Amino acid sequence: MTDLHVFGKQRGLRTTQWEREDKYGWGNNRGLVLMKSKDLIHWTHTEVFVNEAFPENFGELGCAWAPQTIWDPSVGKLMVYFTIRQHPNGRTKLYYSYANDDFTALETEPKLLFEYPDEKIQVLDADICPMPDGRYFMTYVSQENPGGIKYMISDRINAYNDYHHEQIDAERNGCEAPNTWKRIGEDKWVVMYDIYSINPHNFGFVETTDFKTFTPLGRFNEGVMKATNFVSPKHGSVIQITKKEAKRLEKYWKKK
C-alpha cells in the first residue's frame, strides 16, 4: 500500500497539508506498506522506506505510490512495481524491485519499467496481467490531457517498449489506477479503472479478448457492472479466490 496520510493536517498531526510541502509539494510520502497473508484474514504488516533502503539514488525521494505485486517465475520472487518521483519537482515514473522471501523488505534497488516517449509526461499506477501466451499485459496511466489508461505488451515481466499512443478507457475526463482480471471460464479480460474526475467517484470498465480492442462496459450501476455495498470507490483491485476461501471469509466476517 501507499504509506500516505492524506488527512494529517485535519487530524492535527502536522501544520501543513503535506509532510514536506515547501520543497516536495503534493503527496510526498517515502514509504510503502508490505502486507502478506496465508488466509486473507490475518496479515503481516511492514513499513518500507525507499529513501532509507536505497539512499544513494533515492535519498531525496519525492514520492513512492501505488505499489502492486506479481510473481516473477524467472527469478522465483515477488516483484513489487510502483510509481516514484525520484527528485523534488521531478516527473513520476514506473519502477520495479524484488521483495525478500518474507515480504518484509525490498532486496533490489528500484529500476525503471520503461521510458515513456515524451519525457514531459508523468506516468503512474501500473498493473501487470499475465497473458495466455506467456507474455505480459501492462496497463498504466499517462497524465496527458486528460489523463487516461494506456497499455504495453512484453515477453518480459519487467521491461516494456511496446508503446501504444491511444488510451483504452471510455472516458472523456481523467481516470487512473487500472486493474485487469480474467473472467472465470471465459477468454475475456476486464480492465477496471478509477474515474477520479467525476463526483461521486466511480469505476469504469472495458473488456478485451485479444488485448488489442477494448469494448466499453460502462460504469458501476450504469451498465452491466453492479456495486451492491459501497459508493464512491477508489483505486480498486480484483483477484480470484477459491470457494473454500470465500466460505472462510464469509464465516469470519459474519462473526464481526
pLDDT tens for 130-146 read 999 999 999 999 999 89
> Can you give the pLDDT at residue 70?
98
Q: Helix (H, G, I), strand (E, B), or coil: what is residue 76?
A: coil
Q: What is the pLDDT of residue 21?
A: 87
- Report residue 246's pLDDT band, with 50, 70 and 90 as the boundaries: very high
| Partners of 194 in beta bridges | 176, 203
The C-alpha atoms of residue 164 and residue 150 are separated, in whole angstroms, by: 7
Which residue in this structure is represented by grid cell 508490505? 34
Rounded to two decimals, the pTM is 0.94
Rounded to an integer, the average pLDDT of 151-165 is 97
> Measured over all CA atoms, what is the biggest interatomic distance in the chain, rounded to whole angstroms?
53
- The 3-state DSSP class for residue 129 equals strand
The pLDDT score that the predictor gives to residue 230 is 86
Dihedral sign for Cα atoms in the order 180, 215, 203, 178: positive
- pLDDT tens-place string over residues 10-62: 999 999 999 888 899 888 999 999 999 999 999 999 999 999 999 999 999 99
Regarding predicted confidence, which is higher, 90 or 106? 106
Please give the average per-residue pLDDT across 111-138, as a whole number.
Answer: 96
Q: What is the pLDDT of residues 59-97, one digit of tens each?
A: 999 999 999 999 999 999 999 999 999 998 889 999 999
**What backbone torsions phi and psi does residue 161 show, to the nearest 5 degrees?**
-145, 10
Q: Which of 98, 100, 20, 96 is nearest to 61 (CA)?
A: 20
- pLDDT for 231 equals 86
The three-point CA angle 123-237-212 to 5° equals 60
